[in-house]
A and B are shown apart, each in its own frame.
Chain A
Amino acid sequence: MADFRLHSGGLIDRDRKISFTFDGRSYQGYHGDTLASALLANGVRLVGRSFKYHRPRGIYGLGGEEPNALVRLRQGARAEPNIRATQIELYEGLVARSQNNWPSLRWDAASALGLVSRFLPAGFYYKTFMWPRRLWPHYENFIRRMAGMGRSPEAPDPDHYEKCHGHCDVLVIGGGPAGLAAALTAAEGGAQVWLADEGAQLGGGCLNDGDASAARDTIAALESLDNVTLLRRTSVFGKYDDHLYGLVERTGDHLASPDLGMPRQRLWHLRAGRAVLASGAIERPLVFANNDRPGVMLTSAALGYLRTYAVRPGSRAVINTNNDSAYGAAAILAAGGIEVAAIVDHRHMKERREIPGAEILHNHAIIDTRGKKGLTGVTVAQLDINGDAVPGSERQLACDLLCLSGGFTPSVHLYSQAGGKLAFREDIQSLVPKSEVPGMTVVGAANGDFGESEFIAGGAAMDRPVSLRKFRRKQFIDLQNDVTAADVELAAREGYRSVEHVKRYTTLGMGTDQGKTSNLNGIAVLSDALDRPPAEVGVTTYRPPYTPVTIGALAGRDVGPFLAPDRRTPMQECHEKAGAAFVPAGLWQRPHYYPRPGETMTEAVNREVLAVRRNVGIVDVSTLGRIDLHGPDVAEFLNRVYINGFKALAVGMCRYGVMLRDDGMIFDDGTVARMAETHFIMTTTTANAGPVMAHLEFYLQVVWPELRVHMTSITDQWAVAAVAGPRSRDLLDSLDSDIAFANQAMPFMAWRGGAIGGIPAQVFRISFSGELAYEIAVPADYGPAMWEMLLAAGQEFDVNPYGTEALTTLRTEKGHFVMGPEADGRATADDMGLGAMLSSRKEFVGRRSLRLPGLAGGDRLHLVGLMPVDGRSQIPPGAILLDKEMAGRAPDKAGHVTTSVFSPSLDKPIALAMARNGRQRLGAQLWAHSPLDNRIVEVVITDPVFVDPMGERLRA
């Protein structure tokens, strides 16, 4: 195989040989190579297949603009699709494969699509595959399999990613000459400067100039300053609000695997005082038939391979141009040992430039190319005034490299993201920044200022990029998505005239290169087709990211168990030791039930429930929100946020309260204890702890700032256990405490402070289970000690720890609603049967809405109980209630089941439900219908309180 490597020059390290494989074959390259340069050095030209027609494709560009050379890199769990060979730094043992082909890259069956491609123009799928309808899933399946590119990895990523935050005065984007100069100026002025560049080496265009000494001096100067941070291998992918830039630093991608302990990539959130955009310009190709064969390349890329990597991308070159830059390039290629056969220049020029050995063809264009899996020659023709080929003027030229030089497109993506407007500059046939955007300066080639670079300099006197107006054969504009000039013309013909329509109809510029080499040519073709100047055709919106960003980098450390924080109560370890089964409750894990050996869940739950009803049980309720309120106006404040009165609550007593939103719906419920004249403690539901706090702060700070109240969340400071059951008092009495638990000393809804077994405690005589019960709150660190103490002392009373499942059964037996199933954000207090609690003597949040017709009206859903008519059948959870005569017809639902349990106390299934006008329908029989599991159970509406309706047990 021919060796295309030069013996000297370039920035590669010839002392460090690297072996790698591509499609299973081994090759050698050098440290400093990219996969693309190493493949070219080994004479590998065919590297990929295109998206739609599976055309053979080679290496086309030098960096992020590459549309063709996408490979599958690495193996196993580290395999990743669609990586640009031009951006892969070579490392020892690198493994890459071509993709989107079968059975092989050289012989790809799907390339047969090329034969019928004339029936597959842009948007063909909108016009067909509609008959017969039932076949569409099969058509779609086929379309899906043909589409896509690489294969997704199948195993979890072994690498990790991290996120960092940075702040600087000046962020310089791009490390070419313009960026380096800007960074140095800013740094010498004393600013904190960060400079980021996608490449492994700084220098940008200078690297290709062969002589990078000026750049090297600047880099050295920057490296010596401590107010400068240089980020190599770092893409600035997005500009966000308030000068936040998103950067991805590839810390491990140039290695076989990241160094031990190092992330693979790092996502930076960088706030920059201002930014200097020095992102350079990307060369544009020219468009003609079969302009996509391996061996066709941007001129700037050819120069880059020659100078940076010391690789000859071909042996005999033709250069196609519409501007002056090609002439300098030709000289460089020739000096590098590439035979330049011809320069084909679209322009008609009086002044002629000579390149020794090369034929200069003015007023000529390339009209076709030859070569099956690699370029072997081109057809050129003279152009007439309309831009068509002069008949008979066609000539064949042999070449294996075709360099395209259609002018340069400034990389203005980040400027556009920042809200900058673009103007079309005729002289360079490109869009350039129109004016400054706050906080960003665009410099150098990115600003359309090509002065500094040797080969971009000749950008003036540009001509149209398209060779011929008759788009008969495939003239590709977007190589990755196989969008041709004819496709764009077709779109225009069919009325898709906005540039956004063209993009969407043809998929132009929607590939992984985001149209970096195709967008402007698309505009040019469209401008011809519509007969409107390019400036009027406009440009599609540039959307972040500038270069694709790994999903892993965006997720950072929020993966696996760290997706969200894990909240643990102080007693969590006690529950774990006791073998509890856990159930998630928001961010908490709560004990679901505590199975004993050999017990099923049902058995365990029934045992726990009966223990509470007959003896005593304890449950961890530390997850409930706890808010401490101090101040002379707390009672007034509570009066305004709860539906019931709080002014008269005596010190030493607790009260249950319900809160509404201002739209009248129940927002939360809980108890409030008056600790002292001006001190209260409020509890909230577990899920609403945060929202209630914010809700109260809103009313306090925004609506009633005159109230003197101070609030603090103390959820995390307390460990709380409820001791419930007829023998709960016995249990507490058996402990060493200065608190008197007797009924007279501590009646229902009283609270007392003191010490229990030496642990400081607040004890609240409140009950959710409907039994005699005490909630014991101790400072968080005492939680485990308190819990173990209760369990130990409780042994003689057959104490059972119980979980949320038993809790649900207990509260269902008592007809207590909870937020979520019953109070679902659409329920009023009256719906819950709490109408009597609504104070009529005061204003409170939400009261006014209760008079609105929909809330006061007669057809609301009421909280009711349900029992199976047969006394045995479980009532299907989530079932819909239907009036019997309605069943089977389009139902007007009579309500729905909210909580369904087996009641061990009643020894039968029961349920809570929300039933339309339910309180007026006690005794009515309905169907509880659950089509999901095909069950219908006959139920009767009952009062929701199944156990101890008079509340004697909790007052006992």
Chain B
Amino acid sequence: MNRYSFASLVRHGIMGHRGWKPAWRDPEPKTNYDAVIVGGGGHGLASAYYLAKNHGLNNVAVLEKGWLGGGNTGRNTTIVRSNYLLDSNARFYEHGMKLWEGLSRDLNFNVMFSQRGVINLAHSKGQLEAFRRRGNAMRLNGIDAELLNRDDVAALVPGMDVSGDVRFPVEGGLLQPRGGTARHDAVAWGYARAADRRGVDIIQNCEVTGIRRDHAGVSGVETSRGFIASKRIGLAVAGHSTQLAAMAGVRLPIESHVLQAMVSEPVKPVLDTVVTFGAGHLYVSQSDKGELVMGGDIDGYNSFAQRGNLPVIEHVAACLLALFPQFSRLRILRTWGGIMDMTMDGSPIIGTTPVPGLFLNGGWCYGGFKATPASGWVFAHTMATGQPHALNADLCLDRFHRGRALDEKGAGPKPWAH
């Protein structure tokens, strides 16, 4: 067996690393599976892993149109947190947080989950009050949260300008100490390898082009590599949920938008926490490699382009310098964009659909990376049993029809406003 450990690294090192086996197989698609998951991102792969692990379903395929992890899983700013206000969101994300904490060992793949703390800054009394409410709600949901005053923030983030003579002085913040970052690619790879070891077929370069239905529900998918039959189809295609759902005749409360991210050149450690600015759109952390990893707002109009424009990048730069004026002479090394499902209430949609056998895992907006383990967990449950798990009961598509939108920001049905 190809277990990863310090010992195996040394053993293979002595042999010149020629003995390592592929992390996953490269199988030809079979004609029939018990379950097919469309989309080889973190969510699709995690779902397959938990289908096999928790529900004993091994005859499962993950179909990925490109290379696995090449969607938003490999493009995000890797922030992991469960600091949500609304109960339905908080409990779901906290389940994810708990899974994250044991993930490297569960997968036998170091996903470099780094619990360095996530701070949301407040710049006014009103913001701090809102954080009080959120923090209290979190604590009562069993989630760690601390309210920080200005001095606490200064002590936690030494380089930050918390002086009063800036445009938006820092008043305090909400800290989730267990929040942090993880290595995004490793999450996809780790789940892929672990799922593969449980018999899941991971099929790359296989694009789903149609969904076949019969009287009972779905019967399979048309792909660039031929028809694949299955009575259980799960969609986990991030920015393309509407396209895939439309293949089965389902319309969704989702628009696709581009979100950009960027990294600076690597420098020695200067920032040990994840910081979210409260008077503009910026979140920043420093990767283990030394790059400052930053993101901001979506560009704000429908897009499938996987690239964005300068205004957002310039705004992110300005917000960064508002907190850390000393970073002015550092340079941005790379910028990129990913296409995200933006839902009408800013919360994800995960569960059943009106079409029997068709399941949806989408609408992740800015924040689906942190959800990866929990999403896979409950989606596997939903696909295996046909019923949502308690944790995603409120996150199903029918909430819109029931007038129970989960509007975490209270911004209304404008996807670009969440």
Complex interface: chain A residues within 8 A of B132 (CB):
876-879, 930, 932
A24 at the interface (CB under 8 A from B): no
- Please determine whether A150 and B331 come into contact, CB atoms closer than 8 angstroms: no
Indicate whether A157 sits within 8 Å of B326 (C-beta atoms), given known contacts A140-B114, A150-B268, A854-B402: yes
A933 to B267, CA, bound (A): 37
Among A499-546, those with CB < 8 Å from B are 500-501, 504-505, 507, 512, 514, 541, 543-545
- Please determine whether A559 and B321 come into contact, CB atoms closer than 8 angstroms: yes
A826 to B327, CA, bound (A): 39
A501 to B73, CA, bound (A): 13
A87 to B147, CA, bound (A): 47
- Please determine whether A930 and B136 come into contact, CB atoms closer than 8 angstroms: yes
B304 at the interface (CB under 8 A from A): no
- Please determine whether A157 and B328 come into contact, CB atoms closer than 8 angstroms: yes
Stretch at the interface among B102-110, B349-357, B363-371, B381-389: B102-110
Complex interface: chain A residues within 8 A of B334 (CB):
514, 543-545
- Please determine whether A893 and B87 come into contact, CB atoms closer than 8 angstroms: yes
- Please determine whether A548 and B331 come into contact, CB atoms closer than 8 angstroms: yes
B302 at the interface (CB under 8 A from A): no
- Please determine whether B326 and A153 come into contact, CB atoms closer than 8 angstroms: yes
- Please determine whether A246 and B310 come into contact, CB atoms closer than 8 angstroms: yes
- Please determine whether B328 and A932 come into contact, CB atoms closer than 8 angstroms: no
Identify A144's interface contact among B87, B131, B290, CB under 8 A.
Answer: B290
A140 to B113, CA, bound (A): 10
Stretch at the interface among A125-133, A181-189, A329-337, A942-950: A125-133
A357 to B144, CA, bound (A): 75
Task: Output the least CB separation between A192 and chain B (Å).
Answer: 22
A494 at the interface (CB under 8 A from B): yes
Complex interface: chain A residues within 8 A of B105 (CB):
130-131, 133
- Please determine whether B9 and A563 come into contact, CB atoms closer than 8 angstroms: no
Among A863-879, those with CB < 8 Å from B are 876-879
- Please determine whether B265 and A82 come into contact, CB atoms closer than 8 angstroms: yes
- Please determine whether B124 and A584 come into contact, CB atoms closer than 8 angstroms: yes
- Please determine whether A494 and B10 come into contact, CB atoms closer than 8 angstroms: no
A920 to B69, CA, bound (A): 52
- Please determine whether B289 and A147 come into contact, CB atoms closer than 8 angstroms: yes
Complex interface: chain B residues within 8 A of A80 (CB):
329-330
- Please determine whether A151 and B268 come into contact, CB atoms closer than 8 angstroms: yes
Task: Output the least CB separation between A565 and chain B (Å).
Answer: 9
- Please determine whether A551 and B9 come into contact, CB atoms closer than 8 angstroms: no
A896 at the interface (CB under 8 A from B): yes
Identify A551's interface contact among B69, B129, B186, B320, CB under 8 A.
Answer: B320
B220 at the interface (CB under 8 A from A): no
Identify A585's interface contact among B124, B133, B268, B410, CB under 8 A.
Answer: B124
- Please determine whether B13 and A119 come into contact, CB atoms closer than 8 angstroms: yes
B137 at the interface (CB under 8 A from A): yes
Contact with A along B320-339 (1 / 0, CB 8 A): 11100111111111111000
Complex interface: chain B residues within 8 A of A392 (CB):
none
Interface residues contributed by chain B, number (CB under 8 Å): 114
Stretch at the interface among B21-29, B41-49, B224-232, B240-248: B21-29
B154 at the interface (CB under 8 A from A): no
- Please determine whether B24 and A878 come into contact, CB atoms closer than 8 angstroms: no
Task: Output the least CB separation between B290 and chain A (Å).
Answer: 3
Complex interface: chain B residues within 8 A of A560 (CB):
166-167, 325
A149 to B16, CA, bound (A): 28
A849 at the interface (CB under 8 A from B): yes
Task: Output the least CB separation between B301 and chain A (Å).
Answer: 11
A210 at the interface (CB under 8 A from B): no
Stretch at the interface among A606-614, A660-668, A749-757: A660-668
Among B238-296, those with CB < 8 Å from A are 264-270, 279-280, 286, 288-290
Task: Output the least CB separation between A174 and chain B (Å).
Answer: 21
A559 to B166, CA, bound (A): 9
Stretch at the interface among A10-18, A236-244, A433-441, A461-469: A236-244
Indicate whether A879 sits within 8 Å of B20 (C-beta atoms), given known contacts A130-B110, A551-B330: no
- Among A153, A269, A898, chain B packs the most CB atoms within 10 A around the CB of A153
- Please determine whether A556 and B314 come into contact, CB atoms closer than 8 angstroms: yes
Indicate whether A551 sits within 8 Å of B137 (C-beta atoms), given known contacts A663-B413, A854-B404: no
- Please determine whether A498 and B204 come into contact, CB atoms closer than 8 angstroms: yes
- Please determine whether A494 and B328 come into contact, CB atoms closer than 8 angstroms: no
Complex interface: chain A residues within 8 A of B310 (CB):
238, 240, 244, 246, 269
Complex interface: chain B residues within 8 A of A670 (CB):
none
- Please determine whether A490 and B265 come into contact, CB atoms closer than 8 angstroms: no
A560 to B286, CA, bound (A): 23
- Please determine whether A554 and B317 come into contact, CB atoms closer than 8 angstroms: yes
Complex interface: chain B residues within 8 A of A554 (CB):
313-314, 316-318, 332
Indicate whether A152 sits within 8 Å of B140 (C-beta atoms), given known contacts A82-B267, A825-B410: no
Identify B167's interface contact among A417, A494, A551, A561, CB under 8 A.
Answer: A561
- Please determine whether A891 and B140 come into contact, CB atoms closer than 8 angstroms: yes
Indicate whether A551 sits within 8 Å of B124 (C-beta atoms), given known contacts A149-B267, A852-B402: no
Identify A563's interface contact among B6, B133, B322, B329, CB under 8 A.
Answer: B322
- Please determine whether A81 and B4 come into contact, CB atoms closer than 8 angstroms: no
Complex interface: chain A residues within 8 A of B266 (CB):
51, 82, 147-149, 512
- Please determine whether B140 and A929 come into contact, CB atoms closer than 8 angstroms: yes
Complex interface: chain A residues within 8 A of B129 (CB):
821, 877-878
B207 at the interface (CB under 8 A from A): no
A217 to B314, CA, bound (A): 39
- Among A137, A147, A161, A820, chain B packs the most CB atoms within 10 A around the CB of A147
B54 at the interface (CB under 8 A from A): no
A703 at the interface (CB under 8 A from B): no
Identify B412's interface contact among A544, A583, A667, CB under 8 A.
Answer: A667
Indicate whether A893 sits within 8 Å of B140 (C-beta atoms), given known contacts A156-B328, A584-B124: yes
- Please determine whether A853 and B403 come into contact, CB atoms closer than 8 angstroms: yes
Among B107-123, those with CB < 8 Å from A are 108-110, 112-115, 123
**A157 — nearest CB in chain B belongs to which residue?**
B328
B319 at the interface (CB under 8 A from A): yes
Indicate whether A548 sits within 8 Å of B265 (C-beta atoms), given known contacts A143-B288, A558-B318: yes
Identify A129's interface contact among B18, B108, B110, CB under 8 A.
Answer: B110
Complex interface: chain B residues within 8 A of A882 (CB):
140
Task: Output the least CB separation between B280 and chain A (Å).
Answer: 7
A261 at the interface (CB under 8 A from B): no
Task: Output the least CB separation between A148 and chain B (Å).
Answer: 3
Task: Output the least CB separation between A479 and chain B (Å).
Answer: 15
- Among A504, A566, A933, chain B packs the most CB atoms within 10 A around the CB of A504
Complex interface: chain A residues within 8 A of B159 (CB):
154
Complex interface: chain B residues within 8 A of A856 (CB):
403
- Please determine whether B317 and A555 come into contact, CB atoms closer than 8 angstroms: yes
Task: Output the least CB separation between A660 and chain B (Å).
Answer: 10
Identify B290's interface contact among A148, A155, A584, CB under 8 A.
Answer: A148
A507 to B289, CA, bound (A): 10
- Please determine whether A826 and B407 come into contact, CB atoms closer than 8 angstroms: yes
A712 at the interface (CB under 8 A from B): no
Among A89-145, those with CB < 8 Å from B are 118-119, 121, 124-131, 133, 136-137, 140, 143-145
- Please determine whether A929 and B136 come into contact, CB atoms closer than 8 angstroms: yes
Complex interface: chain B residues within 8 A of A82 (CB):
265-267, 331
- Please determine whether A893 and B329 come into contact, CB atoms closer than 8 angstroms: no
- Please determine whether A504 and B185 come into contact, CB atoms closer than 8 angstroms: yes
Q: A79-B329, A152-B326 are in contact. List 8 more A-B contacts (CB 8 A).
A: A501-B67, A849-B403, A852-B403, A854-B403, A880-B133, A880-B140, A932-B136, A932-B147
Q: List 13 A-B contacts (CB under 8 A).
A: A126-B110, A130-B5, A131-B5, A417-B307, A490-B17, A496-B23, A555-B320, A556-B314, A661-B412, A663-B413, A667-B412, A824-B410, A929-B136
- Ordered nearest first, which 3 A-B pairs have the shortest CB separation? A825-B410, A878-B132, A852-B403
Question: Taking beta carbons and an 8 Å cutoff, which residues of B are in contact with A?
Answer: 4-6, 8-10, 13-14, 16-18, 20-26, 66-67, 69-70, 74, 87, 102, 104-105, 108-110, 112-115, 123-126, 129-137, 139-142, 145-147, 159, 166-168, 183, 185-186, 189-190, 204, 264-270, 279-280, 286, 288-290, 307, 309-310, 313-322, 325-336, 399, 401-405, 407, 409-413
